[in-house]
Amino acid sequence: MERRKIRLQKLIAATGLASRRKAEQLIVSGRVTVNGQVVTALGTTADPTRDHIKVDGKHLKAAQPFVYLMLNKPKYVMSTMDDPGGRPTVKDLIRGVSIRVFPVGRLDFDSEGLLLLTNDGNVAQTLLHPRYGVAKTYLVKVKGMLTDEDIRLLEQGVRLDDGMTAPAQVKKVGKAEQNSWLEVTIREGRKHQVKRMLLAVGHPVIRLKRIRMGPLSLGRLEPGSFRFLTDREANALRELVRKRIRVVEPEATEKARSKGAVQVIR
C-alpha cells in the first residue's frame, strides 16, 4: 500500500502547535526532525502514521479535529493571538474555545468585520494565497464622491508601490453629503490593499469592514461576537479547497519538482 505523505508544515499546523506560517519558520530554522534527520526544506513530506516527527525534540502530537470560527472583529482590536504592545487581540474575544485556532489573514487595527479562525491549514492556505483567487468583499466608506472613471481604474487594476493590482469589482452602495459607500471585492491579499487602492485614485478610506470571504458571509453577527460555522458553511469551505487545489496545485507541484524543491522522507 502506498504511504500517505503530507507536507510537514501541514502536519504541524494540524496539531494546533503553530499556524502554517509559523510551522514553516520552525522547519526552515532546523527545529524539526523526521526519523532523527533534521529537515529544512519546506517541500518535505512525511507519513504521520509511520514516521517519527519531532519539533524541538518533542514528538508531534496527534492532529486535533478541525474547528472553524467566524468572528466579527471590532475596530481597535489586533487580528492576532498576541500583541507585544499589550493591545487587545482576537484571542481576548474567543475565550472558552479549547482547541487552538489561528486567524486566517488579518484585518487592520482600525478595520472591522469578518475574520475566520481555524486550525485547518488547507483552508487557511487556500483562502489567503493569491494563486487561488478567493474573493474577499469589503464595505468601504471613502472621502469624496467616487466617479465612474475612478471605478474604471480600480476595475482595471491600479499601480501601487509593489506593482499593479489585479482587477477589482467595485459597486456604489450609498452616499453621504461628502462621502461614498462602496462594496469592493478583491482576489489578492496585499498589506492595506483596499486602502492603498482607493488612496491611489484620490479617495482615502474612512471606514472598512469585511463582509464576505469565499463562501462565508458576516450576516448579522454582532461586533466582538463569534460563532462556530454551520456544517453547511464548513462543507462549503472544504469544497472550495478541494476545487481550487485540484485546479492549481498540480501545476505548482510540478514547478516545485522541476526546481528540486520537494523532498520526500522515506
Q: Is the residue at 246 inside a domain?
A: no
Residue 258 has a pLDDT of: 54
Q: pLDDT (tens digit, 0 to 9) for every residue of the chain, 266 residues total?
A: 345 788 999 889 888 788 888 899 999 999 999 999 999 999 899 988 888 999 999 998 877 788 999 999 999 999 999 999 999 999 999 988 988 899 998 999 999 999 999 988 889 889 988 889 999 999 999 999 999 999 999 999 999 999 999 999 999 998 777 899 999 999 998 899 999 999 999 999 999 999 999 999 999 999 999 999 999 999 999 999 888 777 765 555 455 455 554 444 43
Q: What is the rounded CA–CA span in Å between residue 108 and residue 75?
A: 8
CB atoms within 10 A of CB 259: 9
Is 108 among the catalytic positions? yes
CB atoms within 10 A of CB 15: 18
**Same domain assignment for residues 80 and 36:** no
Q: The pTM is what? A: 0.76
Q: What is the rounded CA–CA span in Å between residue 177 and residue 144?
A: 9
**Same domain assignment for residues 196 and 134:** yes
Residue 261 has a pLDDT of: 47
Secondary-structure percent of the chain, ordered helix, strand, coil, rounded to 5: 30, 25, 45
Q: Into how many domains does the chain fold?
A: 2
**Same domain assignment for residues 55 and 107:** no
**Same domain assignment for residues 175 and 123:** yes
Q: Is the residue at 241 inside a domain?
A: no
Going along 159-237, which residue ranges are E strands? 159-160, 163-164, 169-175, 179-186, 205-213, 216-217, 226-228
Q: Is the residue at 131 inside a domain?
A: yes
Q: What is the rounded CA–CA span in Å between residue 256 and residue 240?
A: 23
Q: What is the rounded CA–CA span in Å between residue 201 and residue 150?
A: 6
Range of the domain at 42: 6-63
- Which among 256, 252, 264 has a CA at the least distance from the CA of 125? 252
Q: What is the CATH number of the domain that holds 40?
A: 3.10.290.10
Q: Is the residue at 248 inside a domain?
A: no
- Asked which of 63, 87, 107 is the last residue of a domain, the reply is 63
Residue 125 has a pLDDT of: 86
Selecting among 51, 82, 92, 108, the annotated active-site residue is 108
Residue 259 has a pLDDT of: 54
Under 8 Å between Cβ of 167 and 155: yes
**Same domain assignment for residues 44 and 92:** no
